[in-house]
Structure formats: C-alpha cells, structure tokens
Homo-oligomer: A and B are copies of this chain.
Amino acid sequence: MKGRKFVPSNSMEIIGIAGLPEVNEGDDLTRLFLDAVRDKRLELEDGDVIVFTSKIVAKSEGRVVDLTDVRVSGDAERIASETEKDPRIVQLVLNEAKAIVRLRGNHIIVETKHGFVCANAGVDESNVEDGKAVLLPKDPQKSAQGLKNDIEARSSKAKSVSVLISDSFGRAFRNGVTGICIGISGIPAMVDRRGEEDRFGQIARVTQEAIADEICAAANLVMGELAEGVPIAIVRGLELERCKSDIQELLFSREDDLFR
C-alpha cells in the first residue's frame, strides 16, 4: 500500500443520509440505504465514499447484547468496582478485548480483538433499548467489503463506490472524541507521500496521511457523534485511487507504538 499519489480535490461535499428506520438483526442495510438515498432524491455517483456508523452496521449484524444474559466473572466484578461501572458492561469489554492498555479512574482503555485501542472496547449503551449494549461489528473490514460489493451490485447508477465504517474514539493528549475509521473498502486507508517534491523542489520528508480517519472525522460533523437519525454520510468529490485496502494499515503494532 506504498507509493500512492494523492491529488487533493478542489472541493468536496458531505451529505448526511437520514430517514432510516431503527435497524435490527438481519435487516438489509444496503436496501435501507439505497431507499433513503432515493427518498432524498439523490443519485449515487461513481467515486462516492459512503461512511456508515459502526452502530448501524453492528445492529444489522445482531451485535446487540441483552445485559441480563451476561455472566460476570470475578475479574469483571473487580474492575467494575474499581471503575464504578456496570459489571456486565465490564464483562463485555473484557470479552471484546485482546489486552488492557490502561485502567485508571473510571477509564478502561483496551486493545480490541481487531487491534483498535479505545475506551470500553467500543461497547456502547447509547442509542439502544434500555438494558442492552451494542458491540463493535465482529469484522468491520469484512462488513465494509460486503457493503461495498452489495451497493455496487444493486445501485442502478454507481458501479464504483467505497465504504468506510466509522466510530468515535477518544485520543491520547487531546480531549473529546473524533470520528475514526474501523473498516474500509475501495480506497486506500493511508496515502503515502514519500518522495513527492514540494513547492521548492525538495524531496519531502516521509509523510503518510491517514485519509480514512480524516474522512470519518469529516463525516462525523454531518452525522453527529450520537446517531441522531443520521447514521450514514456520502463524501463526494475526493479523487482517490481505487484499490484493495485494509484498516490494519493504520494500526501500529505494539512494538512500533510509542505510547503502549
């Protein structure tokens, strides 16, 4: 995934797609999306980047847990007591985690089984019925690929789109959450500018831009951090090379990470 060129576009547009019904396990997300686009009197275009919130994807995949079904381990009880959290939520966090990265105050920062470093393994009690929690999609990379293939096959207009799945994560050093990418299909996650000449004819330093995260941050401004009925956004106007890609490109190995 090295050596890609990236020509910044002159302008881009981000369109929020609202009006979807509440999504349940087994729902046909591509159909709901295409219907919502049609109801908005929009047409998909080739090159569109379609950003889905992880929550709507997770719900369609049945990644919703009834908290009364959770069996709480001793470890979860202990951490719940330290962090003043619901032990059942802590158990879900531990189930989803590969490793605990930080445990301090009421924060549980983990590395998820996917390799994402985030609070509570992305387990979320907002925008779901009381007594339930939503997990991250099991394999958001596969979800993105599936949605892309499905949209391209079933859209009457666009035969070449890309799909990103976004979540909102906190960051080290800076307060507040921002949209980030957890699954990508169709465009590069990162563009590599090693060796491009800058305006002074110098070969620029190694610079790699995590455009997948920038696109999800941009989409978050239209979607809102909570899913206020805008769970999907179309990002239009970016001129990006089409390619196979994997969100793993954006993840540091533990050895390469200066902060683990």
Using CB atoms and an 8 Å cutoff, list the residues of chain A in contact with chain B: 6, 8-16, 18, 22, 102, 104, 107, 109, 116-117, 125-130, 168, 171-180, 189-191, 193, 196, 198-200, 202, 204-205, 207-211, 213-215, 217-218, 220-230, 238, 249-252, 256-260
Contact = CB atoms under 8 A, between A and B. Distances in A.
Contacts of A18: 10
A228 B7 CA distance: 9
A140 to B, nearest CB: 15
Contacts of A223: 8
A124 B250 CA distance: 23
A116 B227 CA distance: 30
The 4 A-B residue pairs with the shortest CB-CB distance in the complex, in nearest-first order = A176-B210, A218-B218, A8-B224, A172-B259
A191 B221 CA distance: 11
Contact of A214 (B198, B204, B217): B217
Given A176-B210, A199-B228, 20 more contacts: A8-B230, A9-B221, A10-B18, A117-B172, A126-B204, A127-B204, A168-B207, A168-B209, A172-B259, A174-B250, A175-B190, A176-B209, A176-B213, A177-B207, A191-B225, A198-B226, A198-B228, A207-B225, A218-B221, A259-B259
Nearest to A103: B258
B226 A220 contact: no
A222 B9 contact: yes
Contacts of A178: 209-210, 213-214, 217
Main secondary structure on A side of the interface with B: loop
A206 to B, nearest CB: 10
A192 to B, nearest CB: 9
B217 A126 contact: no
Contact of A226 (B172, B175, B176, B204): B204
